[in-house]
Structure 1
Amino acid sequence: MPEALALLQKYWKHDKFRSLQKEIITAVLDGNDTFALMPTGGGKSICFQIPALMNDGICLVISPLVALMKDQVANLQKRNIKAIALTGGIRSEELIDLLDNCQFGNYKFLYLSPERLQSDWILERIKSLPINLITIDEAHCVSQWGHDFRPAYLKISALKKHFPKTPFLALTATATPRVKKDIINALGLHEPKLFEKSFARENIAYMVFEVEDKLFRIEQILKKNPQPSIIYVRNRKSCLDISSQLQSLGFKATYYHGGLSSKEKDKNMQLWMNEEVQVIVATNAFGMGIDKANVKAVIHIQLPENMENYYQEAGRAGRNGERAFAVLLTSSSDIIQAESQFINVLPDKKFLNSVYIKLNNYFQIAYGEGINEQFTFNLHHFCLKYEFPTLKTYNALQFLDRQGIITLSQEFSEKITLQFLIPSKEVIRYMSLNQNDEEIILAILRTYPGIYEMQTAFNLQLIAKKSNHKESQVLAVLHKLKEKDIIAFHSKNNDATIVFNEVREDERTISRVSKHLENQNQLKKEQLQAIVHYINEKTVCKNKLILDYFGEKTMVNCGICSYCITKKIQKKDFTSLGKEIIQLLQSEDLNSREIQNKTKNSPEEVIFVLQDLLENNTILVKPNNKYTLKS
């Protein structure tokens, strides 16, 4: 395939294809429907981008992830490849222009969400495009047993009728055998060529450690491995807390979560990408499109929601092929916390119905109305008004989003617009009587000459800088001017925008999707049980457990995971260490960390000997996690 390799070298500066990429590209170029299971970091996008560039026409890419679509379009445009994404929030007139560009502008890639295909007029326009390949990314969303099932994906198979000779390429990074079978059937793939890359990552040591002090263990890992690392946590507060604690211990650390502005996200990510900091503490909002080859350790300090997410996040380590570590730190309370966080907050049909009705009431939508209406939305205010639990409500809204009933897009931004309502001579008079406000008002008038004629987008930071004032002082003046009816001033501090995709039908709407809700809730329970099994199973290689979950069998232990290391430790003679621990405990009660410091042994060796002494009734562990000699 000299032409394909030439494109790879020209646009991506790679001299050879990764495992399975060449075979998948060949299958697609031969006109075959194709299913490809390529775990994270396998280079899935190349598999459709190269064949699309080799053929005349445009590649249709269906993806549920707006951030990933934007990221891929930006990367293609950087390489001077013409690509467009039809993401949410684009007005109909703009959509028409973009689709015209696709038809007449020699574009090579059109990205859209599956929900877009539910608009008849968009589907009609797509039918008229010269589609050379239809790619379904994140294809596990097609399956009701996939971890992000979206019913809109089921409509994709209808494209087969309109493009019977166009190959379909289904791509996913995480699919169990049941999900794989579901994808092929639901998409109507015709005698598909199947490509499955092994889930084995031979250079990653999967470690599960039960520890009393997670921060101390993190400190040990980061000191021993000073290369770039990621620490995954479950919430924004933990991001800030762990990052601050690491900084106080002398580590260079930053953080990343969905509540940051785009500017802050980019700044913090670049600090880590450029290795100005060693570690980034992040929620699962971090990682999409991140391909840093030399990540040495990925550390989870709370239980992940499912094995699919854990495998993807852990797989960001060691992409350079060198030894790397995927560490999961657990403590006795983690399972209870995980059930509280993942299972107890799942909405049932009754709660979902209540949220949906109140959401319509909140925006004053009448029964039988509301389709295509868009609103700014503050989750906290909504939950406060109706006394709903926040996390359970968020899960209910996410479910409604995945079902296509609403579109929930998170913004996390503050937008300010203002307009002067009184003539300029009255503004000058006001300034002469209120000289403390003069510098700020003059800065606004000089920056926005059209502010008397229309509502004008306002940059708070810029005006603060130009007027030599703090942002809070500028805001105070704006609020004062608004109270005096001198300006019209609108400040939207939103955490979301909601679009209603259907007319309001209350229980009828919810009854239609309630079966999916039951299936998804049951799936989430099973997935958490799989995580619990992974951490509690102490007699099987951790790599084997991961492979088994994804339907891949191996008879060989990896030799580098926490189980395999424990097996090696068991072969050592720890008689002298046991005697040393007993001698230490004769003087005072100690926890495992204190024993480790005093004996200068590894945590694994100390824990192994302590467990042996506990089993032989030589020592006891007290409620404060300190070990003492049995009297």
Structure 2
Amino acid sequence: MTASEILKTYWKFDSFREPQRAIIDSVVAGKDTLALLPTGGGKSVCYQIPALMKPGICIVVSPLIALMKDQVRSLSEKGIKAIALTGGQRQEELSDLLDNAKFGDYKFLYLSPERLQTDWISERIKDLKVNLIAVDEAHCISQWGHDFRPAYRNISNLREFFPKVPVIALTATATAKVVSDIKEQLSMSDASVFQISFARTNIAYGLVEAQDKLHRSIEMLKQVSGTSIIYVRNRKACLEWSSLLESNGIPATYYHGGLSVKDKDTNMQQWMENKRRVMVATNAFGMGIDKPDVRLVIHVQLPENLENYYQESGRAGRDGNKSYAVLIKAPSDTAVAERQFLDVLPDRKFLLNVFVRLCNYFGIAYGDGYDETFAFNLNQFCQKYDLPVQKTFQSLQFLDRQAVLSFSTEFSASVTFQFTLPSKELIRYNSLNQKDEPIVLQLLRSYPGIHELAVKINVSQIAKRSGKPESEVIALMEKMHHLGIGEFKSQSQDATVVFHEAREDEHTINRVSGFLKQENLRKKEQLESVINYASGNESCKARELLSYFGEESTDCGICSYCVSKSRKSAGPRNLKKSILHLLTQSQMDSRMLESATQTGIDQLLPVLEELLESGTIGLTETNTYILIQK
């Protein structure tokens, strides 16, 4: 099939967005290709369609487990065979997946860059008939990028394995310095580069100063109809803001990394189907989310860097209609952000302490631990060793980026099961409960010792092999537990740790300490850019964002600066007319007038004082303004 036919067959679109077709043509022609497309620009299609046009399998390197799972699920729903090598999978399971990749007519193999560090996996990958290498989130390969992961440098091994196979690198956020570094690290000196403007001309970027952020957010939600996202700092704030919005008559739900998969899916579905208007979320929310009709994105705290802010605010207006992205800032936010993002940065001494404590916590001896997986509760760990939670969290995330270990913060459950019923009785149970038989048989086949001792169950694997949903697998084990057929235990955990190398304490930390210094310096510089952006409405906000990414532009005309500039040029006379017109309809306080006129309080108050002094308006006991009839 042609590219257009594949697009129509699997994606149900009649035409490509610019410059998708040109990128696809470049890849099909066998050229190395670098694509810089803004959030929502349709990056995945640019490698998926060329891969479907050629015999063989496409290797996709991606840093995020959740994103890989989302892509595999999306492709599978289209009838396209795809698999992912993610963290926490046992060697036997990985081997089976690689067999499927080689013999099962699969078109896509997703894997994390850390997987390329495992020699036997690399050897197995060499045997695949690869038609394309896709590097997603390619900015991670650059030490100047906002999410540098040294493990991305392992992608150079793929170039050695498959020297004639083209590489496509994709990213949504990269400065000119990062683009140059990507090309160098991936040996793409002759690459075709496609870059469209980062400008989102339908998004009005706003910077608003307010102490009462909830009140300000509610006012915006009243002014802007449609679906919205409010980004908050932590899990606790998710629940609090969602509850407060609900109590103010605004249907809301929430999303953070600590929710179970079931709760995430439920909350997401309610929001996607417009049963809940507002999604209150941490930055764990966003990857793979493509809801076109989001009209308003509000950040109520300063983001860590402008790359994240651009991506998160860019979830507004993907249908091309006018939308708003607003950052609400209080005077204390700069100091709060410095405490949140800079004071928690670990130094080498602290990092070493965390790593040694972590190994001791799991009972890992020196020289051991390679490829071992552990359930982990961060708060319990920090309490045991009297460690600050946020600084410890940053340390574990850094070790994750350095591929020393994988630190997954998704809520999950560790499940163990043992059959206590004799084999003959189990056969009788199957004959009487035939709908349960596929799951029971897969438990027996996958875990030969399940009669003798309790074994840890890979629920997703049993579900896949039996053709049943995960919820049904869990429900059956619980039922058999209550019937006395087996022993079922489930222990919740808020994280999983997988060690990618043996414990070597000082040697391990010395190897990565140089990267730690670089990363800390980079984070300070990035936060400084955020603070400058949030310092005031003294220039076009869209222009400031584009300038950060090395793109020149003119004033957008719709951001908070451009709108205030336009109002200032209109003068206080027009503001007077607006106030008087509003007060002919009802009494209003200063907040209501500020919102209705979309004017800053510093501009509004002098006009109100002038109208009060002239006796044109009055102030009631409840601090609302009224029009005085003469």
- Normalised by the length of structure 1, the TM-score is 0.84
Question: Secondary structure in 1 aligned to 2:215?
Answer: helix
Q: Corresponding residue for 2:620?
A: none
Quote the Cα distance in structure 2 between the aligned partners of 1:36 and 1:562: 31
Q: Name the SS of the counterpart of 2:7 in structure 1.
A: helix
Q: Which residue of 2 aligns with 1:565?
A: 563
Give the structure 1 partner of residue 50 of structure 2: 51
1:296–1:579 distance in 2 versus 1, CA, 3 Å: closer
How far does the alpha carbon of each residue in 1:4-48 deviate from its partner, in whole angstroms, 9 at most, with x for none? Answer: 111100100001101110111111111111111111000000000
SS across alignment from 1:269: helix
Question: In 1, distance between residues paired with 2:595 and 2:167?
Answer: 58
- Matching residue of 1:539: 538
- The change in CA–CA distance for 1:558 and 1:167 in structure 2 (over 3 A counts) is same
Return the letter of the residue paired with 1:178.
K
Amino acid at match of 1:155: N
Alignment-derived partner of residue 595 in structure 1: 590
The offset of 1:417, in angstroms, is 3.9
Task: Encode CA deviations 1:355-401: one digit per residue, 9 max, x unaligned.
Answer: 11111111222222221222221111110111100010011011111
Distance in 1 (CA, whole Å) between partners of 2:503 and 2:566 is 63
- Give the conservation status (yes or no) of the 8 Å contact 2:478–2:488: no
CA contact (8 A) 1:345 1:391 kept: yes
- The alpha-carbon deviation at position 155 of structure 1 amounts to 1.6
- CA apart distance, 1:454: 5.1
* Identity of matched residues, %: 55
Look up the equivalent residue of 1:344 and give its one-letter code: D
1:122-165 Cα shifts (integer Å, max 9, x gaps): 11111111111100000011001111111111121122222111
Give the corresponding residue for 2:493: 494
Separation (CA, whole Å) in 1 of partners of 2:507 and 2:478? 54
2:506 corresponds to which residue? 507
Conserved 8 A contact 2:57-2:131: yes
Aligned Cα root-mean-square deviation (Å): 3.1
Assess, with a 3 A threshold, how the Cα gap between structure 1 residues 233 and 494 changes in structure 2: closer, same or farther: same
Structure 1's 120 and 422: CA in aligned 2 closer, same or farther, altered over 3 A? closer
Matches within 5 A, 1:382-461: 382-417=381-416, 455=454
Letter in 1 for 2:172: A
Q: What's 2:599 paired with?
A: 604
Moved more, 64-73 or 402-411: 402-411
Aligned-partner residue type, residue 592 of structure 2? N
Q: Is the 8 A contact 1:596 1:603 kept in 2?
A: no
Q: Which runs of 5+ in 2 are unaligned?
A: 423-438, 445-449, 460-470, 580-587, 614-622, 624-630
User: In the alignment, which residue of structure 2 is the partner of 1:432?
Assistant: none
Query: For residues 506 and 137 of structure 1, do their structure 2 counterparts lie closer, same or farther at Cα, with a shift above 3 Å needed?
Result: same
Q: 1:572 to 1:82 in 2, by over 3 A?
A: same
Cα separation, 2, equivalents of 1:420 and 1:32: 56
Matches for 1:110-189 after TM superposition, within 5 Å: 110-189=109-188
Equivalent residue number for residue 256 of structure 2:
257
Q: Does 1:191 align with 2:179?
A: no
Shift of 1:596: 3.5
Contact 2:572 2:607 in 1 (8 A): no
**Aligned twin of 1:84:** 83
Distance, in Å, in 1 between the alignment partners of 2:99 and 2:367 is: 33
C-alpha distance in 1, partners of 2:573/2:189?
64
Residue 64 of structure 1 corresponds to 63
Provide closer, same or farther for how the CA distance between residues 567 and 124 of structure 1 changes in structure 2, counting only shifts above 3 A: same
User: What secondary structure is seen at the aligned counterpart in 1 of 2:526?
Assistant: helix
Q: In structure 2, how many angstroms separate the alpha carbons of the residues matched to 1:455 and 1:512? A: 39
Q: Distance in 2 between matches of 1:514 and 1:262?
A: 35
Give the Cα separation in 2 of the matches to 1:611 and 1:346: 44
Distance 1:420 1:56, change over 3 A: closer
Aligned to 1:108: 107
Deviation string, structure 1 residues 216-257 (Cα, Å, up to 9, x no partner): 111111112220111111101111111111111111111111
1:570-585 to structure 2, matched below 5 A, reads 570-574=568-572
Residue of structure 1 in register with 2:463 after alignment: none
**Aligned-partner Cα distance in 1 for 2:219–2:493:** 40
Aligned residue identity for 1:88: G
* Partner in structure 2 of residue 429 of structure 1: none
Counterpart Cα distance in 1 of 2:541 and 2:526: 17
User: How does the TM-score come out when normalised to structure 2?
Assistant: 0.84
Q: Deviations over 1:403-439 (max 9, x none)?
A: 111111234234454669899xxxxxxxxxxxxxxxx
Please say if 1:354 is aligned against 2:353: yes
* Partners of 2:90 and 2:475 in 1: CA distance: 29
Q: Which amino acid aligns with 2:56?
A: G
Structure 1 gaps, min length 5: 424-446, 468-473, 582-592, 619-625, 627-631
The residue that corresponds to 2:465 in the other structure is none
The one-letter code of the counterpart of 1:562 is S
CA separation in 1, counterparts of 2:275 and 2:61?
Answer: 36
Shift of 1:464: 13
Displacement of 1:490:
4.7
Partner Cα distance (1:351, 1:11) in 2: 50
2:312 paired residue number? 313
How far off its partner does 1:594 sit?
Answer: 3.5
Taking the aligned partners of 1:387 and 1:356, their CA distance within structure 2 comes to 14
Name the amino acid aligned to 1:507. Answer: E
